[in-house]
């Protein structure tokens, strides 16, 4: 307990590197759930029976908890408890931020009351494929904050100075905030394990920001490791988190007893003119459960598949990736908001007799069958571009040459350059393979990424059997935490970095300066919401980044604490348990 109190007493001066006792949050955009956009809403509308309300911490029909293992994707909790979904400029102390995170974590654990294991996973260093999405999101948020700040100043509103504002980008591995959080979390968990009877009978596993991997995928690594030693279906799992990808991850475990826990949409998003409910005031009735096992049954009934439901689930996950995720952009005319998932499911059902089998088997894709799916979906492509051409007043999209116009505008590919289009298709199909490998078996290529901002047209995803696919190397390793910070942070957040690194973002003489543009364009790309727009910033040159950072004298230029922040550890912290 003494170590925890010491850490909390230091928090106002050290967490995030901010000096004021009270830290006001900068103007910002609303927090957006990650993963496949709009997927959660589509699933619950399509299969409403998979949702279960909470009562007394359990589904209404149960008398006691039968959940064996609880997994918490902690980054959603950290964001919610440090700056929340309240658009007003908030005041909070750094110490209170930690206390709120611990209190909410404790609340979720005791609502679910697992019998065997609690796994808490914070995002560590991400694969390069995810860093590009993180970079895009952080640059867009910085741009929106600056625009909102300018509007508030013009309106005579009081806004915090940059030096005093809480920068939510500090919730990234390698920052002082995350180092302090990880250390405090271990102390808190050790204290709870020794002093709270609730935790004495369960094993606690904490994978902090110094362990590489996205939080939800570190949980998946844990589940896969345990599946090697026990019968599938013997345990009941519950996964807490806001990321829509958790649905897909729950499915690929092929566990029949798998629940997802999250706050109700009505709780997280307040009505106009009202503040959102404080997370610390949530009761069990503010949560809801999604039964992944029941979703499996619904898919089996919908597609009349009694022989191999596991392969059907694999196909469902594979096809859902075509509408986009954190690693690949969506195929242009496949938008959930436009009914593309309904179209995809009906197309798949009609094609099943002609396919002659399943499209995928875990991480493996049957390319000729995938091509048949794309050929069928491509039939709806011309009408999509005709409609979009009207909306955007783009005559080229309304013509037969819409494909040439699309590739010229989005890729800079000249009309008739079939080779360049083919390379985009190859990169995209390789990306589908990478995603399935990541979901089913963990990250085996940390440095691969999709090198384009847009996806190819469905009509071009043909002749797949002839593609020369070179799979990414499995020998790559995660980059150091400070390299990830350099890769994802905008210059507005440079104060979160050690000074020698920060200077490389802002100095005109820096060889990396071009990767941190002060201004940039945002392409709406036919999307309805601003957060769905494509951020037009350059990809990081990984080789140039490594060469430039290697020239920094880390032993002299970085403090001991900064050097510790740049190191990762191989395994999570684990408590005992009954």
Pair 208, 60 in one domain: yes
Pair 282, 308 in one domain: no
Instruction: Judge whether 475 lies within some domain.
Output: no
Instruction: Judge whether 369 lies within some domain.
Output: yes
Q: pLDDT at position 338, please?
A: 87
d(CA 164, CA 159): 10
DSSP string covering 324-375, please? --SSSPPPTT--GGGTHHHHHHHHHHHHHHHH-S-SEETTEE-HHHHHHHHH
Q: pLDDT at position 26, please?
A: 43
pTM: 0.91
pLDDT of 164 above 70:
no
Average pLDDT over residues 500-516: 97
Q: pLDDT at position 88, please?
A: 45
Q: pLDDT at position 19, please?
A: 30
**pLDDT band, very low/low/confident/very high, at 53 (cuts 50, 70, 90):** confident
Instruction: Judge whether 85 lies within some domain.
Output: yes
Pair 347, 229 in one domain: no
Instruction: Judge whether 519 lies within some domain.
Output: no
Q: Whole-number mean pLDDT of the chain?
A: 88
Q: pLDDT at position 58, please?
A: 52
Give the structural domain span for 92: 2-297
Q: Is 57 left (phi over 0), alpha (psi -120 to 50) or beta?
A: left
Could you report the per-residue pLDDT of 58-91, keeping only the tens digit for each? Answer: 555 444 579 999 999 999 999 999 987 554 434 5
Q: pLDDT at position 473, please?
A: 66
Neighbours of 177 (CB within 10 A): 28
Pair 287, 309 in one domain: no
Pair 77, 179 in one domain: yes
**HSE-CB of 252 using CA atoms within 13 angstroms:** 28
pLDDT of 12 above 60:
no
Angle at 307 between CA 301 and CA 313, to 5 degrees: 60
Pair 247, 167 in one domain: yes
Pair 283, 343 in one domain: no
Asked if residues 116 and 208 have their Cβ atoms less than 8 Å apart, the reply is: no
Total domains present in the chain: 2
Pair 343, 398 in one domain: yes
Pair 196, 320 in one domain: no
Instruction: Judge whether 477 lies within some domain.
Output: no
Query: Among the three residues 253, 275, 297, which one is the final residue of a domain in this structure?
Result: 297
Could you report the per-residue pLDDT of 358-401, keeping only the tens digit for each? Answer: 999 999 999 999 999 999 999 999 999 999 998 888 998 999 99
d(CA 386, CA 396): 9
d(CA 515, CA 539): 7
Q: pLDDT at position 145, please?
A: 86
Query: Among the three residues 238, 268, 297, which one is the final residue of a domain in this structure?
Result: 297
Query: Among the three residues 466, 493, 525, which one is the final residue of a domain in this structure?
Result: 466
pLDDT of 565 above 70:
yes
Pair 357, 272 in one domain: no
End-to-end CA distance of the chain: 21
Pair 174, 199 in one domain: yes
pLDDT of 29 above 80:
no
Could you report the per-residue pLDDT of 208-226, keeping only the tens digit for each? Answer: 999 999 999 999 999 999 9
Could you report the per-residue pLDDT of 103-135, keeping only the tens digit for each? Answer: 999 999 999 999 999 999 999 999 999 999 999
Pair 182, 74 in one domain: yes
Angle at 300 between CA 298 and CA 304, to 5 degrees: 120
């Amino acid at each position: 307990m003494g170590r925890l109190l010491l850490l909390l007493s230091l928090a106002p001066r050290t967490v995030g590197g901010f000096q004021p006792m009270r830290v006001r949050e900068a103007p910002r955009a609303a927090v957006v759930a990650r993963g496949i956009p709009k997927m959660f809403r589509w699933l619950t509308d399509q299969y409403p029976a998979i949702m279960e309300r909470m009562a007394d911490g359990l589904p209404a029909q149960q008398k006691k908890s039968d959940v064996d293992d609880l997994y918490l994707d902690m980054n959603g909790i950290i964001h919610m408890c440090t700056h929340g979904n309240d658009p007003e400029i908030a005041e909070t102390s750094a110490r209170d931020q930690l206390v709120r995170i611990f209190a909410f974590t404790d609340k979720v654990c005791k609502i679910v009351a697992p019998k065997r294991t609690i796994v808490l996973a914070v995002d560590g260093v991400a694969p390069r494929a995810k860093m590009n999405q993180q970079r895009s999101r952080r640059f867009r948020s910085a741009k929106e904050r600056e625009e909102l700040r300018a509007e508030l100043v013009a309106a005579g509103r009081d806004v915090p100075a940059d030096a005093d504002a809480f920068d939510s980008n500090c919730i990234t591995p390698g920052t002082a905030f995350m180092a302090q959080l990880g250390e405090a979390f271990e102390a808190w968990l050790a204290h709870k394990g020794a002093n709270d009877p609730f935790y004495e009978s369960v094993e606690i596993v904490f994978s902090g920001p110094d362990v590489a991997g996205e939080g939800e995928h570190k949980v998946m690594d844990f589940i896969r490791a345990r599946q090697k030693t026990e019968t599938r279906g013997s345990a009941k799992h519950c996964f807490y988190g806001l990321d829509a990808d958790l649905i897909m991850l729950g499915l690929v475990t092929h566990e029949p007893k798998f629940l997802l826990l999250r706050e109700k949409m009505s709780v997280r998003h307040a009505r106009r003119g009202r503040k959102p409910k404080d997370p610390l005031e949530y009761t069990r009735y503010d949560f809801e459960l999604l039964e992944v096992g029941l979703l499996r049954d619904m898919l089996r009934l919908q597609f009349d598949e009694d022989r191999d439901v596991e392969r059907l689930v694999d196909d469902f996950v594979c096809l859902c990736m075509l509408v986009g995720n954190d690693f690949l952009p969506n195929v242009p005319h496949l938008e959930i908001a436009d009914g593309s998932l309904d179209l995809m499911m009906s197309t798949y059902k009609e094609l099943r007799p002609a396919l002659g089998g399943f499209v995928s088997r875990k991480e493996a894709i049957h390319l000729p069958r995938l091509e048949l799916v794309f050929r069928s979906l491509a039939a709806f492509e011309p009408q999509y571009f005709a409609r979009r051409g009207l909306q955007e007043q783009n005559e080229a999209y309304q013509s037969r040459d819409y494909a040439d116009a699309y590739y010229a505008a989005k890729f800079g590919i000249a009309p008739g350059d079939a080779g360049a289009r083919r390379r985009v298709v190859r990169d995209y199909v390789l990306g589908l393979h990478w995603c399935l490998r990541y979901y089913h078996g963990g990250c085996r290529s940390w440095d691969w990424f999709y090198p384009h901002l847009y996806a190819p047209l469905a009509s071009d995803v043909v002749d797949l059997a002839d593609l020369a696919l070179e799979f990414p190397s499995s020998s790559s390793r995660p980059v150091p935490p400070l390299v990830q910070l350099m890769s994802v942070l905008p210059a507005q957040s440079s104060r979160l970095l050690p000074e020698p690194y920060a200077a490389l973002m802002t100095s005109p003489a820096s060889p990396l300066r071009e990767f941190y543009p002060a201004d940039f364009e945002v392409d709406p790309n036919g999307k309805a919401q601003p957060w769905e727009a494509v951020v037009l910033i350059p990809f990081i040159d990984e080789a140039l980044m490594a060469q430039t950072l290697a020239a920094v004298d880390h032993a002299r230029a970085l403090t001991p604490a900064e050097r510790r922040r740049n190191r990762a550890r191989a395994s999570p912290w684990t408590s005992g348990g009954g």
